[in-house]
Amino acid sequence: MALFEQGYCFIAGLDEAGRGCLAGPVVAAAVMLPLEKGAETLSELLRGVNDSKQLSEATRESLYDRIMQEALAVGVGIGSVELIERYNILQATKRAMQVALDQLSPAPQALLLDALTLPNLTLPQRSLIKGDARSLSIASASIIAKVTRDRLMRELHQEYPEYGFDRHKGYGTEAHIAAIKQYGATPHHRKTFSPIREMLYGLFADFE
């Protein structure tokens, strides 16, 4: 609440999901909470909100609905595989965050981010290490981003059931890598990422 105490009323927390995946987009979310309700009230309204990676899928889905109900504004941006391949994952993440910010109304006056800063912005930014464990708005954004991305990957599973996207969500599990070896890479795989890059050159021996 430090920024709120400095006079900023509209503070957006941002986070992403899917930066380390081998397939699918990176998804960013921006969440502004009604800070005038006070820290204790918000903590009670959003009880259980934490780093999305620490929560079960069912818990995230439940908290997603609660955040959407209680938040002042929510924005979501998607960095496609094409964007990731063209620029790199970090730049695709930042572009997705900018898209998420552009959807917020009212416009934010300050930003809280998890170990990132965004370029070409004049509004104050605070980059927090492990921000999703230190800021309720960042933690809320992490849940919105993760649930949104998981839903996209479950949809992708309907098109490519042999890859198991509904289970691993595009992360580099043994089962996922085995499926890539057997069936090849789809248009939704990040072909500049290792080990897919090496697989495309036929270097399977290192991954046996």
Beta bridge partners of 112: 13, 126
> Cα separation of 202 and 196, whole Å?
10
Same domain, 192 and 128: no
Per-run averaged pLDDT (10 residues), the chain, 208 residues: 76 97 98 91 90 89 96 98 98 98 97 95 94 94 98 98 98 97 96 92 52
- Does residue 207 form part of some domain? no
Same domain, 188 and 119: no
Looking at the 3D structure of the chain, how many domains does it have? 2
User: Is residue 16 part of an annotated ligand binding site?
Assistant: yes
Same domain, 79 and 143: yes
- Does residue 165 form part of some domain? yes
Instruction: Find the largest Cα–Cα distance for the chain.
Output: 59
Q: What is the pLDDT of residue 208?
A: 44
Q: Which among 132, 151, 170 is the end of a domain? A: 151
CATH number of the domain to which 147 belongs = 3.30.420.10
- Does residue 206 form part of some domain? no
- Does residue 208 form part of some domain? no
User: Is residue 114 part of an annotated ligand binding site?
Assistant: yes
Q: What is the pLDDT of residue 202?
A: 65
> Cα separation of 102 and 108, whole Å?
9
Domain span holding position 166: 159-201
Q: What is the pLDDT of residue 4?
A: 67
Same domain, 99 and 47: yes
Q: How many CB atoms lie within 10 A of CB 105?
A: 11
pLDDT digits (tens, 9 = 90+) for 69-79: 999 999 999 99
Omega before residue 108 within 30° of 0, cis:
no
Same domain, 112 and 184: no
Same domain, 142 and 118: yes
Same domain, 79 and 163: no
- Does residue 100 form part of some domain? yes
User: Is residue 15 part of an annotated ligand binding site?
Assistant: yes
> Cα separation of 34 and 103, whole Å?
17
Going by the DSSP 8-state scheme, the letter that residue 75 receives in this structure is: E
Q: What is the DSSP string of 37-61?
A: G-HHHHHHHTTT---GGGS-HHHHH
CB 120 within 8 A of CB 44: no
Q: What is the pLDDT of residue 3?
A: 75
CB 136 within 8 A of CB 52: no
Same domain, 89 and 166: no
Kindly give the interhelix angle for 57-70 and 136-159, rounded to the nearest 10 degrees: 120
- Does residue 69 form part of some domain? yes
Q: What is the pLDDT of residue 36?
A: 86
pLDDT digits (tens, 9 = 90+) for 91-111: 999 999 999 999 999 999 999
